[in-house]
Amino acid sequence: MSGTNSERELLAEGPAIILVEPQLGENIGMVARAMANFGLSELRLVNPRDGWPSEKARAAASKADHVIDATRVFDTLEEALADLNFVYATTARERYGFKPVRSPVVAAATLRAKFKAGEATGIMFGRERWGLTNEEVALADEIVTFPVNPAFASLNIAQAVLLMSYEWMKGGLEDLTETSFQPLEQKPATKEQLFGMIESVEEALDARGYFRPAAKKPKMIDNLRAVLTRRSYSEQEISIMRGVFATFDRYSRKSPRGKAGPWQDLDGVDDDTNGA
């Protein structure tokens, strides 16, 4: 699924994503893309195998350039975590008694609460092949583990980041609904505007002999009105619909807009000012 909207404000907040010794630039790029999809922007790399910057990462990020451009590289994990207050370590291996283990839902809720409290947080992800070591997990406050098929528990690093990023955004949907996801506000149409549109439709159809036979005209009008009043229209929608129906009386297939016709002055200038 693709699609971007330059008119919307770019979300860029939340926990830092820390990749420990990532191997492939393509994986880093896909991580950046997953982060951008769900409003995360701070990516930290610990000793990436192929160095940084990476054109392969940028290409795989699919225009998540704000994440790629702001990526920070550290020599050690301790340095990458130094300014954070709370950190999760992701792991697929069971480590009983080692650290509290949370689900992605609980972890995201915890991160959201700490974010609102002004704390700096992060989520650690290990190497593509074997994840995080026990020593690295020990640097985290808690563990987050994904509920996956026990017989096939391996997740691509970008998939793991995507899951946590999704849970992060989902946990803040109530806040986002007030801004990012609200449709553009439109003023509801009045009944007078609705009835005016219906009358325009009926007149246009009547002029073209739609209501035939004449005996069925009242029932056909009732059916038409039932269809046109099934939902609430906005003023803008009413305006659009009336503009469409009004065009029926001004133009035809044989005499489209811009061609000589009965609605054009003899000087050839189109007097229609409503514009389609």
CATH number of the domain to which 92 belongs: 3.40.1280.10
Is residue 9 situated within a structural domain? no
Using 50, 70 and 90 to split pLDDT, how confident is the model at 13?
Answer: confident
Determine the pLDDT at residue 163.
Answer: 93
Is residue 5 situated within a structural domain? no
224, 100: one domain = no
Residue 31 contacts residue 17 (beta carbons within 8 Å): yes
| φ, ψ for residue 143, nearest 5 deg | -110, 145
Is residue 258 situated within a structural domain? yes
Of 140-149, 204-213, 264-273, where does the model show the most confidence? Answer: 140-149
170, 239: one domain = no
Residue where a domain stops, chosen among 177, 196, 228: 177
144, 188: one domain = no
**DSSP character for 31?**
H
94, 57: one domain = yes
Q: Which residue has the higher pLDDT, 165 or 130?
A: 165
Q: Which residue has the higher pLDDT, 110 or 263?
A: 110
46: β partners: 20, 74
Calpha distance 90→161 (Å, rounded): 9
Is residue 138 situated within a structural domain? yes
Task: Give the percent of the chain with pLDDT over 70.
Answer: 78
Using 50, 70 and 90 to split pLDDT, how confident is the model at 177?
Answer: very low
Say whether pLDDT at 109 is over 90.
yes
| φ, ψ for residue 70, nearest 5 deg | -95, 0
Is residue 29 situated within a structural domain? yes
150, 38: one domain = yes
Determine the pLDDT at residue 72.
Answer: 96
DSSP output for 121-160: EEEEE-BTTTB--HHHHTTSSEEE-----TTS----HHHH
Is residue 69 situated within a structural domain? yes
Residue where a domain stops, chosen among 177, 199, 223: 177
What is the span of the domain harbouring residue 254? 184-276
Task: Give the percent of the chain with pLDDT over 90.
Answer: 42
Is residue 169 situated within a structural domain? yes
| Range of lowest pLDDT (142-151, 197-206, 262-271) | 262-271
23, 160: one domain = yes
What pTM did the predictor assign?
0.62
274, 227: one domain = yes
240, 257: one domain = yes
198, 148: one domain = no
Number of domains making up the chain: 2
Residue where a domain stops, chosen among 177, 212, 243: 177
The neighbour count for residue 268, using CB atoms within 10 Å, is: 7
22, 78: one domain = yes
Name every residue whose Cβ is closer than 8 Å to that of residue 119 and which is 6 or more positions away in sequence.
Answer: 85, 86
110, 230: one domain = no
Is residue 71 situated within a structural domain? yes
32, 152: one domain = yes
